[in-house]
Structure 1
């Protein structure tokens, strides 16, 4: 099957970091990202490994977008709540590398909270991993409006 990033992930323009969706099903998503000059945060041909959290989050967003489409719902914004156990085997990603990002659903609660185990590989070797906590409110627009009124 052919999944397009722009159909599953709500990020646009320079904030859309995934190049391809490789696989997505009820429990997993796998995406690839080509590191290239001009990407947000690339300096001197390198991208700090800490950006791996965002690559992981966008892969989770692809999973959520696929789920929404399967259920006949619109693809909506979700929120990264936090990360745990982030481990990196390198300091940076380099221009020209292709990252393979895999996310595995561990928990999905009825209130929209979820937990995913994520890994980034380069040339078959895992270079970063983390567990992400995410939140997809039932009505994202209403949730954001409520948050704005509380600040």
Structure 2
């Protein structure tokens, strides 16, 4: 199995998923452990708030998208989380030391758009989060980013 760094550009502290368990045309599974040094760890809650699950799901979806690029004979391209249509948290806080298994599968895809169904489970297999979300993978990432930047001359005149 290829390391997580092969699929996603995130670097610590923003890389939340630690290990690729499996990736196929049907799904991607990653694992991670909740740690006190996680950028989203809340000391008052003594854990991670459940809303962080969306980033775990998005990073796991990026693994699937990267593998899909390779299956098509293309280089891996970044993607953007586009929307979340459903997000259900079964447990509001995930305690330090909790081992997480993150699973996503494409529900529908017509690149550059993909809709995923995903869940975060604890190591006992109990669901912590379930979600339906979409990602956008632009054909030309750099062109997409430059097109979304404000015109500096216009922006500076407004100040």
User: Smaller-chain TM-score range?
Assistant: over 0.9
Q: What's the CA shift for 1:80?
A: 0.3
Q: What's the CA shift for 1:149?
A: 4.1
Equivalent runs, 1:140-151 vs 2, <5 Å: 140-149=141-150
2:112 matches 1:117: no
Q: What's the CA shift for 1:94?
A: 1.0
- The question of whether the paired residues in 1 share the 8 Å contact of 2:86 and 2:133 is answered with no
Q: Determine the structure 2 residue equivalent to 1:7.
A: 6
RMSD value, Cα: 1.4
Higher alpha-carbon deviation: 55-64 or 37-46:
37-46
Q: Determine the structure 2 residue equivalent to 1:99.
A: 100
Distance in 2 of aligned mates of 1:133 and 1:69: 20
- The question of whether the paired residues in 2 share the 8 Å contact of 1:32 and 1:100 is answered with yes
Distance in 2 of aligned mates of 1:34 and 1:73: 31
Q: Determine the structure 1 residue equivalent to 2:18.
A: 19
Distance in 1 of aligned mates of 2:14 and 2:77: 15
Unaligned runs of 5+ in 1: none
Unaligned runs of 5+ in 2: none
Deviation digits for residues 94-132 of structure 1 (CA, Å, limit 9, x no counterpart):
11011101001111114x011000011112111110001
- Taking structure 1 as the reference length, the TM-score comes to 0.93
Distance in 1 of aligned mates of 2:50 and 2:130: 10
Deviation digits for residues 124-143 of structure 1 (CA, Å, limit 9, x no counterpart):
11111000111000111101
- Taking structure 2 as the reference length, the TM-score comes to 0.88
Name the count of aligned residue pairs.
149
Q: Determine the structure 1 residue equivalent to 2:64.
A: 63
Q: What's the CA shift for 1:74?
A: 2.3
For 1:47, what is the secondary structure of its paired residue? strand
